[in-house]
Structure 1
Amino acid sequence: MTLLPRRWVEKPWGRDCLPPPFTAPAGCHIGEVWFEPPAALPSLLVKYIFTSEKLSVQVHPSDAQAQSLGESDRGKEECWLVIDAEPDATLGIGFREEVDAETIRRAALDGTIEDMLVWYPVRAGDFFYIPAGTVHAIGAGVSLVEIQQNSDITYRLYDYGRPRELHLEKGLVVARGTPHDPALRRHLPHAGTVELVSNAFIVAHRCDGLPDPAILAQYAGPCIVIPRKGEMWASAIPIHPGDCAVAGSAADITFDPAGSCVLVRPA
């Protein structure tokens, strides 16, 4: 078992006061906490995101689209588990109704694309899966765990007038002008082990207490453990909330009977 190195990432939209168990370094506005992908699982990246302002309206390509557009990286599918949210916090995901590429272009240029998205009020325990091609934006006052394909490709369509590069032409190639599928979002039950996602890219479960043997069997190879409550152990190494670790298999992890974690592996 290996604890993954943690990297604090400052962002203009980051925060100097983070939800427990994190504490921002003095004088820093932390927007993201990255965990370096392990050599055993290079296709996955886990990070925490903390926002004080809206992030850009953006979209990510699929593997095939990234290749066709000449990118050197894979595409990006991702999912979000909200861990904390201010009362008015929202996530913008997908369009209110079907729109074509020219409508998206005009809206990105004049800023009305923000109003075309559906902004979902969020609270801790909400889960969203974001397929490649989904136009989305994370609102202010949100803290979440992001589990994604390990890719750095982001096409910004609109950025509220901030002086950053936009990627409108590539973004229009990959953007789906459709609403978000309701099957890809839900509020998790307060307790219990639940499957978060199982598809061609990511398998993930939220595990409360001691996982059922059938769940452990799905993680018979290298997997990532993200503790959310309690203390866990692997190879005599403690893993606490705020840590992220890779284990040879879930059988190598000693779970806290009163704890909670997220298990992740590539499909």
Structure 2
Amino acid sequence: MKLKQHHVEKPWGRESIPQAFGPTNGKRIGEIWFENPTGSDLPLLMKYIFTNERLSIQVHPSDQQARERGLPRGKSECWYILDAEPNARLGLGLTDELSADELRQVAIDGRIEHFMDWRKVAPGEFYFIPPGTIHAIGAGITLLEFQQNVDVTYRLFDYGRPRALHLDDGIAVSKTDPYPEGLVRRADAPTDAILLDGPEFSVVRASRPDGIPASIDASRRWVMPVTGQVAVGDELAGPGECIVIEPAVAMEFANGTIALIGSEGAL
């Protein structure tokens, strides 16, 4: 089943995005969500993100923290960098551990920006963002995001934009320890690789079907080609598209294809 595109305007988005996504009609498109054409929710959400400005500094709750707040689930997410302008950066965790009171104060006065661990990024890199990680995406980046499908973001700082902040919930779920290096996969890693193995979902990068762990075949899979084309029966998907494949259904890769494949749980 091929998912349908949903364009999402953002104050930090772009008026010019790749032609595969159609015209923006002068709108600042920041995200392209891939949704079930039947209208029912899927447990995972795949999206493209295009940044012309910095996103807010934000954090997401875990499953348990979300349920305590009346939400169906928390939000783990991960990013695969497709393109990055020179000096484009991601903010991942803090450089110094702060108490809850200190975190609140630097969020209020804007100094939190200077406590963020800003890292230069390059195409092909992969980052897992567990719940509780204070994070931000900088300007000049195009990426693919895989996430648990829930719309919950606690903004701690938004560069003066007229949007609500969520300091009480955000501080309550935030971790202020450094971002773990083991959650990064570098661009020079093998093409066929397990990028993330659970717990909420898994992500594999593959250039051929036999480069994919056999265990994933027993799961429903979300497939997003980065290059080339993936065929599932009579359906084809290329860059800018996402297709969901049911358990035990086979797929074929055209020559030169590299795809990201997500599935629920661990492999």
TM class by shorter chain equals over 0.9
Q: Which residue of 1 aligns with 2:70?
A: 71
Residues 89-131 of structure 1: CA deviation (Å, up to 9, x unaligned): 1000100022211111110010000110000101111111000
Q: Which residue of 2 aligns with 1:43?
A: 43
Instruction: Label 1:71 to 1:38 Cα distance change in 2 as closer, same or farther (>3 A).
Output: farther
Instruction: Label 1:7 to 1:266 Cα distance change in 2 as closer, same or farther (>3 A).
Output: same
Verify the 8 A CA contact 2:34 2:242 in the aligned structure 1. yes
Residues 140-167 of structure 1: CA deviation (Å, up to 9, x unaligned): 0111101001111111111111111110
| RMSD (Å), alpha carbons | 1.9
Q: Which residue of 2 aligns with 1:175?
A: 174
Q: Which residue of 2 aligns with 1:25?
A: 24
Verify the 8 A CA contact 2:216 2:263 in the aligned structure 1. no
Q: How big is the shift at 1:38?
A: 7.7
Q: Which residue of 1 aligns with 2:229?
A: 231
Letter in 1 for 2:254: D
Letter in 1 for 2:46: V
TM-score, normalized by length of structure 1? 0.93
The separation in 1 between residues aligned to 2:98 and 2:261, in whole angstroms, is 37
**Structure 2: gaps of 5 or more residues:** none
**Structure 1: gaps of 5 or more residues:** none
| The 10-residue stretch of structure 1 (191-200 or 136-145) with the greater mean CA deviation from structure 2 | 191-200
Letter in 2 for 1:74: R
Q: How big is the shift at 1:8?
A: 0.9
Instruction: Label 1:7 to 1:242 Cα distance change in 2 as closer, same or farther (>3 A).
Output: same
Verify the 8 A CA contact 2:4 2:37 in the aligned structure 1. no
| The 10-residue stretch of structure 1 (191-200 or 16-25) with the greater mean CA deviation from structure 2 | 16-25
The separation in 1 between residues aligned to 2:119 and 2:20, in whole angstroms, is 26
Q: How big is the shift at 1:20?
A: 6.6
TM-score, normalized by length of structure 2? 0.93
Q: Which residue of 1 aligns with 2:163?
A: 164
- Percent identity between matched residues is 41
Q: Which residue of 1 aligns with 2:121?
A: 122
Q: Which residue of 2 aligns with 1:185?
A: 184
Instruction: Label 1:14 to 1:118 Cα distance change in 2 as closer, same or farther (>3 A).
Output: same
Instruction: Label 1:149 to 1:125 Cα distance change in 2 as closer, same or farther (>3 A).
Output: same
Q: Which residue of 1 aligns with 2:53?
A: 53
The separation in 2 between residues aligned to 1:187 and 1:250, in whole angstroms, is 30
- 1:1-267 equivalences in 2 (<5 Å): 2-19=1-18, 21-37=20-36, 42-68=42-68, 70-189=69-188, 192-212=191-211, 215-249=213-247, 251-267=249-265
Verify the 8 A CA contact 2:219 2:264 in the aligned structure 1. no
| Aligned pairs, number | 264
Residues 150-198 of structure 1: CA deviation (Å, up to 9, x unaligned): 1111111111111111100111110001110010113133652011101
Aligned with 1:35: secondary structure? strand
Q: How big is the shift at 1:209?
A: 3.0
Residues 35-87 of structure 1: CA deviation (Å, up to 9, x unaligned): 0158898211101110001111100000111122x233311010000101110
